[in-house]
C-alpha cells in the first residue's frame, strides 16, 4: 500500500486547484471495470485524505453494495434526481473515513424513461450535485453500461471522464462511438469536459492477447491511456462480496497496489 508520504507532491499540487472536481467513470460496454474502478479509486483517494463522494448512477446498484450499503437504501439518487429529496439528505457515510456515498437502488431504472421524456433534463444531475460538490475534493460518478440519459447526465456534470477498457478481444469496439459522444457532449452540453484517461483493466499479464490489446489501445490513443494498468486479481473480484474496497479486503494484493498507483496518477494529472 502506498504511504501517505508518497502522496505529498501530488497532494500539494492538487490542493492548488478548485474544489469538487467531478469524474465520470464511463463506458457503454458492460463489465469492463467501471464500478470496480469507481469504488476502489474513491477509496484510495479518501484514504489519502481527500474528502470524496461516490455517486452511484446505475440501477444495478453495484457500487452501493460494494461499499457495504443495501441495494434497497432509501432515499437514493433516484429521489434526488426526481427532486423529492435534497442531495445532502440522501448522502450516507461509509466505513472508509472521508468517503461518502450517494446510493442507487433499482428504482433508478425509471429515470432512464423519465429523463428521456423531459426536455432540458440533461443537466439534472449537475444541478442536484451543485449544492454539495464543494463539500468534497473529488466526486466520482459510476455510470451504467449504456449511453442513455443517465450517462449523458453524468458527462454533462463532469469535469473529467475516465474510460475503463478491458484488455480483451473487442476492447476497441465501441470506443469510437464513445469518443464521438464525448465530443458531442463537449460541444453541446459541457465544454469543460476533458478525458482524464483510458484505463486498461483486468489485465492478464500472462497472455499474449492482453499484451497485444494493451499495445493496440496505446497506439490508437497515444497520450490518452493511464500509465497504471489494473491487473486481473482475484482479491479485486472478491472484495464486493464483503462490502469493502480491495485496499481493506487485502491491502497487500496487486489489485490494491494498482488502484493506489492509479489514484496517485489521477491526482497528479489534476
Ligand atoms: N482487475 C480485476 N480483476 C478481477 N476481476 C475484476 C477486476 N475488475 C473487475 N473485475 C470483476 O469483473 C466484473 C465486472 O466488473 P465491474 O462490475 O467493475 O464492471 P462494470 O463495467 O461496472 O460492469 P457494468 O457495465 O455491468 O456496470 C465484476 O465481477 C468484477 O468483480
Ligand atoms: Mg458497473
Per residue, what are the HEC states of 60-77?
Answer: CCHHHHHCCCCCCCCCCH
Is the per-residue pLDDT at 162 higher than 90? Answer: yes
pTM of the model: 0.94
Assigned C-alpha cell, 34: 467501471
* DSSP state letter for 245: -
Assigned C-alpha cell, 127: 444541478
Per-residue exposure over 153-169, b if at least 16 CB sit within 10 Å of its own CB, e if not: bbbbbbbbbbbbbbbbe
Say how far apart CA 220 and CA 59 lie, in whole Å: 32
pLDDT band at 14 (very low <50, low <70, confident <90, very high): low
Q: Mean pLDDT score of the chain, rounded to an integer? A: 92
- CA of 255, nearest ligand number: 1
SS3 120: coil
| Distance in Å, CA 142 to ligand 2 centroid | 7
Can you list the alpha helix ranges (DSSP code H) found in 72-207?
77-82, 87-90, 109-117, 124-133, 149-157, 175-188
| Distance in Å, CA 70 to ligand 1 centroid | 19
Is the per-residue pLDDT at 155 higher than 70? Answer: yes
pLDDT band at 1 (very low <50, low <70, confident <90, very high): very low
Span 33-55, mean pLDDT?
97
Domain boundaries, the chain: 4-269
Q: Tell me the CATH architecture of domain 4-269.
A: 3-Layer(aba) Sandwich (3.40)
Q: Whose Cα sits closest to atom 14 in ligand 1?
A: 31
Q: Whose Cα sits closest to atom 15 in ligand 1?
A: 33
Measured from CB, residues less than 6 Å from any atom of ligand 1 are 30-36, 58, 60, 62, 145, 201-202, 230, 232-233, 236-237, 240, 255
Contacts from 84-93 at CB under 8 Å and sequence distance 24+? 86/131, 87/128, 87/129, 87/131, 87/132, 88/131, 88/132, 88/135, 91/53, 91/132
| Distance in Å, CA 5 to ligand 2 centroid | 32
Could you tell me the end-to-end alpha-carbon distance of the chain, in angstroms, rounded to an integer? 22
| Distance in Å, CA 106 to ligand 1 centroid | 19
Amino acid at each position: 500500500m502506498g504511504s501517505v508520504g508518497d502522496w505529498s507532491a501530488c497532494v500539494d499540487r492538487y490542493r492548488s486547484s478548485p474544489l469538487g472536481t467531478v469524474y465520470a467513470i464511463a463506458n457503454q460496454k458492460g463489465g469492463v471495470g467501471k464500478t470496480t474502478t469507481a469504488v476502489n479509486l474513491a477509496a484510495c483517494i479518501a484514504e489519502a485524505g481527500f474528502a470524496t463522494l461516490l455517486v452511484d448512477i446505475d440501477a444495478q446498484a453495484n457500487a452501493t453494495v460494494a461499499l457495504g450499503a443495501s441495494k434497497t437504501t432509501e432515499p437514493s439518487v433516484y429521489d434526488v434526481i426526481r427532486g423529492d429529496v435534497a442531495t445532502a439528505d440522501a448522502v450516507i457515510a461509509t466505513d472508509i473515513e472521508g468517503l461518502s456515498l450517494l446510493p442507487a437502488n433499482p428504482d433508478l431504472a425509471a429515470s432512464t424513461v423519465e429523463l428521456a421524456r423531459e426536455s432540458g433534463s440533461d443537466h439534472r444531475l449537475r444541478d442536484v450535485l451543485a449544492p454539495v460538490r464543494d463539500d468534497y475534493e473529488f466526486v466520482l460518478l459510476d455510470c451504467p453500461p449504456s449511453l442513455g440519459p443517465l450517462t449523458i447526465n453524468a458527462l454533462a456534470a463532469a469535469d473529467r471522464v475516465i474510460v475503463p477498457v478491458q484488455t480483451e478481444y473487442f476492447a476497441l469496439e465501441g470506443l469510437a462511438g464513445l469518443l464521438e459522444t464525448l465530443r458531442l457532449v463537449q460541444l453541446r452540453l459541457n465544454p469543460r469536459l476533458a478525458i482524464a484517461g483510458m484505463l486498461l483493466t483486468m489485465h492478464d499479464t500472462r497472455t499474449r492477447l492482453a499484451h497485444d490489446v494493451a499495445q493496440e489501445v496505446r497506439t490508437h490513443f497515444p497520450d490518452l491511456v493511464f500509465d497504471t494498468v489494473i491487473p486481473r486479481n482475484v482479491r479485486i473480484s472478491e472484495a464486493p462480496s464483503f462490502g469493502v474496497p480491495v485496499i481493506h479486503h487485502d491491502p497487500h494484493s496487486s489489485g490494491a497496489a494498482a488502484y493506489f498507483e492509479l489514484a496517485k496518477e489521477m491526482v497528479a494529472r489534476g
